């Protein structure tokens, strides 16, 4: 059996009934198991996680995209998180590293169907990218919905990989990709200083010379500020390293961490690595995790 994970992000986090309907479209797909859903009102964004064999995962993702296109109007959407689609991103993630090629094929199959049947422009990113300049999601989503709407059809660099060369009037566009497991991790500060959050993000993210495999941005919340991060390889930059990088810089500026949060699900290897660091237990391995042994036996 080949299982793949799908973690679509939707531009809706304030209307539970809408998220309920999208989640129902996923869970009602034969062969799909819904694992998790989370919504954030500040970001106005929801993340749904599910697994299935490739054909089932593709179908579940398609139903979710179609439902979101019917229920979400991006012209009325406001939130802290960058977005250019009602269904903003749809990454396929291998449960086993050797199945990345299956995820790439799934992304391409889904993208062709979304473009043809729903009339939504599709951009492939990360391992599914057909153009090297589109590997990085931030580059694909540059300008967000409003920027893409003004440039698509005029600038050849913004031509979609699938679908029409015009944004869907309500649903915008969608980025569909294949990537290794990443960790979406936010650290919220007891501060209203947005420039501080942005400065910390700039100091710690890889593209500006900071920590490897870490993306970060500073965002304003209703009750404070946030350093929002993606750890694209938690083996190179761990959760604890990312947390300490934010905490220490905030402390130097006289601010404290209010809380941190993980968005979506964590790979068990990341939890094991965190336990090794916190407990000073260098010999602790994944093989000592009960659920890991059970999962390996089921998938072998």
Residue 81: active-site member: yes
pLDDT band at 295 (very low <50, low <70, confident <90, very high): confident
* 52 Cα distance to chain centroid: 18
Kindly report, residue by residue over 207-226, the tens digit of the pLDDT. Answer: 999 999 999 999 999 889 99
Query: Residue 209 in 3-state DSSP?
Result: coil
| Helical packing angle, 54-71 and 16-27, nearest 10° | 150
Tell me the pLDDT tens digit for each residue of 226-248: 999 999 999 999 999 999 999 99
Nearest Cα to Cα of residue 223 among 259, 172, 276 = 259
Angle at 108 (CA atoms; ends 60, 9), nearest 5 degrees: 50
Q: Please, which residues have CB within 8 angstroms of residue 240's CB and are 6 or more apart in sequence?
A: 274, 277, 278
Copy the structure tokens of residue 185.
Answer: 């991790």
Which comes out higher in pLDDT, residue 43 or 289? 43
Q: Could you tell me the domains of the chain?
A: 4-178 (3.30.990.10), 183-266 (3.30.70.670)
Contact at 8 Å (CB) between 85 and 145? yes
DSSP assignment of 69-129, as one string?
HHH--GGG---SS--SBSEEEEEEEESSGGGHHHHHHHHHHHHHHIIIII---EEEEETT-
Residue 6: strand pairing partners: 50, 92
Residue 273: CB atoms within 10 A of its CB come to 20
Task: With beta carbons less than 8 A apart as the criterion, state whether 213 and 231 touch.
Answer: yes
pLDDT band of 299, cuts 50, 70, 90? low
Q: Residue 292 pLDDT > 80, yes or no?
A: no
Q: How confident is the model at residue 1, as a pLDDT?
A: 82
Catalytic residue among 77, 81, 108, 168: 81
Q: What is the pLDDT of residues 40-87, one digit of tens each?
A: 998 999 999 999 999 999 999 999 999 999 999 999 999 989 999 999
Q: Is the pLDDT of residue 189 over 70?
A: yes
Q: Are 92 and 6 in contact (CB under 8 A)?
A: yes
């Amino acid at each position: 059996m080949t299982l793949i994970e799908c973690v679509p992000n939707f531009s809706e986090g304030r209307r539970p009934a809408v998220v309920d309907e999208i989640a129902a479209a996923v869970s009602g797909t034969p062969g799909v198991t819904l694992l998790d859903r989370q919504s954030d009102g500040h970001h106005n964004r929801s993340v749904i996680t599910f697994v299935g064999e490739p054909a089932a995962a593709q179908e579940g993702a398609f139903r979710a995209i179609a439902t979101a296109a019917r229920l979400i109007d991006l012209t009325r959407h406001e939130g802290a998180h960058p977005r250019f689609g009602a269904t903003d991103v749809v990454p396929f993630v291998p449960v086993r590293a050797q199945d990345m090629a299956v995820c790439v094929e799934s992304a391409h199959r889904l993208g062709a169907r979304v473009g043809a049947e729903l009339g939504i422009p599709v951009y492939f990113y990360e391992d599914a990218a057909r153009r090297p300049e589109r590997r990085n999601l931030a580059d694909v989503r540059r300008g967000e919905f409003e920027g893409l709407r003004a440039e698509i059809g005029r600038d050849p660099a913004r031509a979609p990989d699938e679908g029409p060369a015009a944004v869907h009037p309500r649903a915008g566009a969608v980025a569909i990709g294949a990537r290794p497991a990443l960790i979406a991790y936010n650290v919220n500060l007891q501060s209203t200083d947005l420039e501080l959050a942005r400065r910390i993000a700039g100091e710690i993210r890889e593209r500006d010379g900071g920590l490897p495999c870490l993306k970060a941005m500073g965002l304003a919340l209703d009750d404070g500020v946030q350093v929002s991060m993606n750890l694209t390889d938690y083996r190179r930059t761990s959760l604890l390293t990312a947390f300490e990088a934010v905490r220490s810089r905030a402390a130097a500026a006289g601010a404290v961490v209010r809380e941190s949060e993980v968005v979506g699900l964590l790979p068990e290897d990341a939890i094991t690595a965190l336990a090794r660091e916190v407990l000073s237990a260098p010999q602790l391995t994944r093989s000592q995790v009960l659920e890991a042994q059970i999962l390996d036996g089921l998938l072998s």
